[in-house]
Amino acid sequence: MTVIALAGDWHGNTAWAIARIRAVAERGVSTLLHLGDFGIWPGNSGAKFLRKVERTCAERDVALLVTPGNHEDWGRLTRLWENPRRRDPVSGDALPLYLTEHIAVLPRGYAWEIDGRRFVSLGGAPSVDFPGRTEGKSWWREERIQPADVERTIRNGAGADVMLAHDSPDEPWWTSQVEAIVRGGNGWSWTDEALAHAAVGRERMSEAFLGVKPRLLVHGHYHLAGEATVQIPGVDYEQRIWSLDCDGAAGNVRYLDLQSLTDPRWAR
């Protein structure tokens, strides 16, 4: 039985990240897939976080693959992926970006296999709080999923067993917990522009989800834990959706048995 770990948002929380990596390694798990808002930030805080997380991954022999979130330094990621050496020479698609020896960032639409199971990654999301952030310092336009990203994800990942994302698809392809947040009114006093901005992200995630038709989609972003089973019309298998919570919450990490595509539900 091959088991991997999946984690929701860590927000550059070094102590939490180190503890989770150690817990994963103690279970004999060597691959951790992170679903964004990891902590790829500019300046000393971002560098210090990566350095300490890398040290723990090296000590515990854990490979950490990041599907980037909205709150990452997309300016840096975009610049690095513009380098032809970091792109596939045949397709021109971006390749995984190794920020350290054990920590790689997955580009949008990247597909690969782990122990016979096919995965595809589609990172990013629109920040609903962008009006209060500073472009180029705490917010980057490149965070938003573009139609070309959706097309690439479907082209490379159609039929993948597992789809990794930061944002959630829109209704009805979401968990009840995400639905409650979206339908719960504007309790945070976001502007209409910001709410519309966020809705576009979910719509593009829905398009990608319906095109890929994964057996399992896992996402973060909403800082809650949930699970749902849905059925895409015309597909002869069900699709399960997992929402993962953020740092500080019990629902931040789940495990996935690649043979059964289920959570072994070890005592946390």
pLDDT digits 0-9 by tens, 119-164: 999 999 999 888 888 998 888 999 999 999 999 999 999 999 999 9
How confident is residue 183, by pLDDT bands cut at 50, 70 and 90?
confident
Distance CA 158, CA 171 (A): 21
Query: Residue 185's pLDDT is what?
Result: 55
Query: Residue 197's pLDDT is what?
Result: 84
Which residue did the predictor score with more confidence, 266 or 13? 13
Query: Residue 131's pLDDT is what?
Result: 81
pTM across the whole model: 0.96
- Which whole-number Å values give the CA distances from 28 to 5, 14, 113, in the listed order? 10, 22, 20
Q: How would you class 187 by CB atoms within 10 Å of its CB: exposed for 0-12, middle for 13-18, buried for 19 or more?
A: exposed
Share of the chain above pLDDT 90, in %: 86
Domains and CATH numbers, the chain: 3-257 (3.60.21.10)
Q: What angle do CA 262, 264, 267 make, to 5 degrees?
A: 145
Distance CA 247, CA 37 (A): 10
Distance CA 158, CA 120 (A): 9
Report the DSSP beta bridge partners of residue 228: 241
Q: Which residues contact 143 (CB under 8 A, 6 or more apart)?
A: 69, 70, 71, 72, 74, 124, 125, 126, 127
Mean pLDDT of 104-123: 98
The answer on pLDDT for 268 being more than 70 is no
Query: Residue 187's pLDDT is what?
Result: 59
Q: What are phi and psi of 111, to 5 degrees?
A: -125, 145
- Sheet of 226-230: strand order equals 110-114, 117-122, 162-165, 216-219, 239-243, 226-230
Average pLDDT, the chain: 94
Distance CA 224, CA 55 (A): 28
The answer on pLDDT for 14 being more than 90 is yes
Determine the longest span between alpha carbons in the chain, in angstroms.
50
Torsion of CA 11, 248, 167, 243, to 10 degrees: 160
Mean pLDDT of 96-105: 98
Query: Residue 132's pLDDT is what?
Result: 82
Distance CA 134, CA 153 (A): 29
The answer on pLDDT for 267 being more than 60 is no
Mean pLDDT of 209-238: 97
Site of tokens 């097309």: 151
Query: Residue 259's pLDDT is what?
Result: 96
How confident is residue 189, by pLDDT bands cut at 50, 70 and 90?
low
Mean pLDDT of 223-248: 97
Asked if 165 and 68 count as a contact pair (C-beta separation under 8 A), the reply is no
